[in-house]
Structures are given as C-alpha cells and as structure tokens.
Amino acid sequence: MKILHLISQMPDLTGSGKYLQALLRFCTRNGHENALVAAIQDGFTLDGDLIDQARTSFVRFKGPALGFPIPGMSDVMPYPSSVFSTLTPEQLAEYEIAFKEKIKDAVTRFQPDLIHSHHLWLVSAFAAEAAPGIPLVVSCHGTCLRQRALCPHLAERPTLLSTRASRIMALSRAQKQEILAAYPGTGDKVEVVGAGFDDNLFAPGEKSMPPPVELLYAGKLSLSKGVPWLLRSLETIRALPWRLHLAGGGSGEEKELCERLAHGFGEKVVLHGSLSHPDLAALMKRAHLFVLPSFFEGLPLVLMEALASGCSVVTTALAGTKEVLGNDTRGRVTLIDLPPLATVDTPHDADMPRLEKTLATTLAQKIEAFITKGVPDPEKAASMASGYTWERVFERIEGVYRKALEKDA
C-alpha cells in the first residue's frame, strides 16, 4: 500500500521520531511505498536511506514563513522549541496553514491509500480536515495526552479528530484506557500495538566486571524525565563505586540545571549529548544498570532497548511500564512508586526529599549487588524484551492498516 507518514516534530531525536524512522524501514521492508510530511529547522536533513527524498515534504520552522521554533509535543525538547500553551492566535493560524498546504500537496502528488499520523493532536486533526477521503490512522505516544491536559483551549480539534480517525494505536492497555477516557467517541477504534526496538542493534554485549558499576540514563535532560532527581539522589551515595552516563539533549534552563548538577560530580558523570542509535546501542551493551526516573511516559521504548542489551532496569512505576514490566519475577526490573503528582508530569515539592531518599536507597542496593554478586546473565534480561522487537510490533501495525482500509472501503 501507499502510506503518507505525518509527524509534527523533527523526524529524529525523540521517541516518536525514532519510532517513525523504524516504521519507514519496516514499511519499505514489507513492500509498502512511503511518503513523509514532517517539521524541520536549523538545516536538519533526514538520512537518505530511510526514504526517497523526492517523497519528503518539510514544514520549515525558524525561517521566513514560520519564524518561531517547532512547537514541541513536550514542553522541553532536545532541540530549540516553542511551547503550545504560549503560541499566539497568529502563530497557530500560520502553523495550521503551513501543515495543511504540505499535506494537501503530498496527497495530490503521492495519492496515498492511507495516512499514518503521529500524536492525537493538532496536526493529525489538520490531516483529517485536509484529506477527508483518505483513511487516517493515528499513533498516540502519550505526550499528546499531556498536551491535552496542559492546553485545554486547544483540545477541541483533537476531540473532533478522534471521531474522524479510522484507527488509533496505543502503546499499552493503560494508555488505551486514557484515550477512551479523554475521547469517549473513539469506541472500538483504539488498538494496542506497543513499541518496538531494533534487535539488530540492541542485543547483549560484553559487560565489564564492576567496580565501577556503569549506570546509564538516555532521554531528554529535563525535569519531567527526573534527571535532577536522579543526580541529587546520587549525591547522597557519591562514595559508592559507580559511574553515570547521561545520553541525550535538551534545551533552556532545564538542560542547564541538569548539566550544572552533572558537572559537580567530575569524572563520575559523563555527558554524552544526543547519540545516534548505533552509538546508544554500543553504550547500552557496556552498561550494567539503566535508570529512567521519569514522571510521565507512554511506553518508553528505551526500556526495551536497555533490557535487550542485557541491562538491569530501575524506573518509575508508571501505568504503561507496570503493565509491561511489572510481572518480572527475576529481579531485573525495579519499579519505584510515585506519590500523586502536582501536575501531569510534576511532583509536589514536599515529596521530593522522600523520593530522593527512595531512589538513592534503591540504587545503592543495586550497586552493592553488582559488586558482591557480579553481573547477572545479560541474556535473561534480553529475553524480557523479546515480544517487543520491531518485527513483532510491525505485524500488529500492519494489521491496523488493513482494518482501516477495510472500514473505509
């Protein structure tokens, strides 16, 4: 089939961007034709091996037509971005016009059988309005639900979108329930497909015997991802033999805070910046313990990549993560419960001392276990991720495509 892919973010650097790239590869591998409409800025170029460049169409930000940075699906992105809640009516109108023009032009030139858009948010709604006769499948990555909570004044269009979309794909059963609660009109349209990792890249590797215990965080350097919480927790167990690798980018004051705290540890914390998938996979092969102290996630793909690389995992007990990893009986995954949050992705200040103590205690126990017992068998951790390879996930996505086409035939 001919599939027009649509994303309102840069098609890289974030979870949804990496998801899109994997989707393009597997669509091509399975005989489908691809076209793409995406947002870009600052001279970004997409890997030519992913898609025929003649079938790409980009909405350019920070340029003559759209003078502001790309509005981020998270309020802190790994590149300069705007915040949806602060966009002016004029900026929102320019944003809509720019995307609708590119979508209509791509539909005219490519004549797709299906549109696959990412995020239950504004640009997916624009696609439903700009190409009403083409089946529309929308992937929810979780951040769109957060924007709905943060920007209720912008939620009307996505609400209409939910009734016009042919199918909606969720990352987990827990997320499916969130979608149904936010969009009651979705009914039986929502299907759980999960998230996939590239098992050609992410696989167990040779791990050194500690000390030090190699800790790894990969993601945005931001408050909502819990990076300052992680660094302040490690301050209380500084004397233990660990080294933390921080992989990821960010922007603004939150990135500066994370980097300032990291620099205070000297050589015990290594800042890697944003890494390519091959470089991240190489780092995960060496890491003993992956830490994701996030306050909000859909289903973090990076957890599957870490497990597939043989890492043990410490992460927060968010709904999607508990659903997928909460049945671990071998102690490779440790989930940390969170108290009720002040906002959708922000804890109460009064809870932070207790959270820091809990995380520090958990990490200290894991570090001491690595020192006294050695490195657990990486293959056992990798087996936990076996149901989430991209090959398995794409089978489910392809099934959703077929249902969307049958319904709209």
Residue 335 pLDDT greater than 70, yes or no: yes
Q: Please report which confidence band the pLDDT of residue 409 belongs to, taking 50, 70 and 90 as the band edges.
A: low
Regarding whether 397 and 360 lie in a shared domain, the answer is no
Please state, rounded to an integer, the average pLDDT across all residues of the chain. Answer: 92
Regarding whether 298 and 192 lie in a shared domain, the answer is no
Regarding whether 342 and 228 lie in a shared domain, the answer is yes
237 Cα distance to chain centroid: 29
Percent of the chain residues topping a pLDDT of 90:
75
Name the one residue in this structure whose structure tokens are 């549109």: 115
The predicted pLDDT at position 328 comes to 67
The predicted pLDDT at position 190 comes to 96
The predicted pLDDT at position 408 comes to 64
Is residue 205 in a domain?
no
Regarding whether 308 and 223 lie in a shared domain, the answer is yes
CATH number where 145 lies: 3.40.50.2000
Regarding whether 38 and 168 lie in a shared domain, the answer is yes
Residue 299 pLDDT greater than 80, yes or no: no
pLDDT per residue as tens digits for the range 139-153: 999 999 999 999 999
What domain range includes position 350? 213-386
Task: With beta carbons less than 8 A apart as the criterion, state whether 225 and 78 touch.
Answer: no
Distance CA 176, CA 184 (A): 11
Residue 101 pLDDT greater than 80, yes or no: yes
The residue among 222 and 344 whose pLDDT is bigger is 222
The predicted pLDDT at position 196 comes to 85
Task: With beta carbons less than 8 A apart as the criterion, state whether 359 and 233 touch.
Answer: yes
The predicted pLDDT at position 4 comes to 98
Q: Please report which confidence band the pLDDT of residue 205 belongs to, taking 50, 70 and 90 as the band edges.
A: confident
Regarding whether 322 and 253 lie in a shared domain, the answer is yes
Regarding whether 397 and 379 lie in a shared domain, the answer is no
Q: What is the mean pLDDT of residues 316-330?
A: 78
What's phi and psi for 318, nearest 5 deg? -80, 160
DSSP assignment letter at 71: B
Regarding whether 331 and 249 lie in a shared domain, the answer is yes
The predicted pLDDT at position 324 comes to 78
pLDDT per residue as tens digits for the range 29-63: 999 999 999 999 999 989 888 999 999 999 999 99
Regarding whether 337 and 309 lie in a shared domain, the answer is yes
Q: Please report which confidence band the pLDDT of residue 117 belongs to, taking 50, 70 and 90 as the band edges.
A: very high
Regarding whether 326 and 401 lie in a shared domain, the answer is no
Residue 154 pLDDT greater than 80, yes or no: yes
Q: What is the mean pLDDT of residues 185-201?
A: 89
Is residue 202 in a domain?
no
Regarding whether 150 and 69 lie in a shared domain, the answer is yes
Q: Please report which confidence band the pLDDT of residue 179 belongs to, taking 50, 70 and 90 as the band edges.
A: very high
**What region does 273 belong to: left with phi over 0, alpha with psi -120 to 50, or beta?**
left
Regarding whether 163 and 53 lie in a shared domain, the answer is yes
The predicted pLDDT at position 329 comes to 53
Q: Please report which confidence band the pLDDT of residue 377 belongs to, taking 50, 70 and 90 as the band edges.
A: confident
